[in-house]
Amino acid sequence: MERNRWSLSGDWTVGAEAIVLNEPNGRIACEFHARDVHLVMGPATREASVRFRVVVDGQPPATACGSDVDARGSGLLVEQRMYQLIRQQDPVVDRLFEIELLDRGAEAFVFTFG
112 found inside a domain: no
In a domain, 11, yes or no: yes
pTM value surpassing 0.85: yes
Q: How many CA atoms lie within 13 A of 113 on its CB side?
A: 14
CA distance 57 to 61: 9
Q: What is the CATH number of the domain that holds 46?
A: 2.60.120.260
Query: At CA 108, angle to CA 26 and CA 53, rounded to 5?
Result: 45
| Cα-trace Rg, the chain | 13
Structural domain includes residue 114: no
Predicted confidence pLDDT, tens digits, the chain (114 residues): 677 678 999 999 999 999 999 999 999 999 999 999 999 999 999 889 999 999 999 999 999 999 999 999 999 999 999 999 999 987 889 999 999 999 999 999 999 998
Domain hosting residue 35, numbered range: 6-107
SS3 112: strand
Alpha-carbon separation of residue 59 from 40, 72, 94, 95, 103 (angstroms): 22, 9, 15, 11, 21
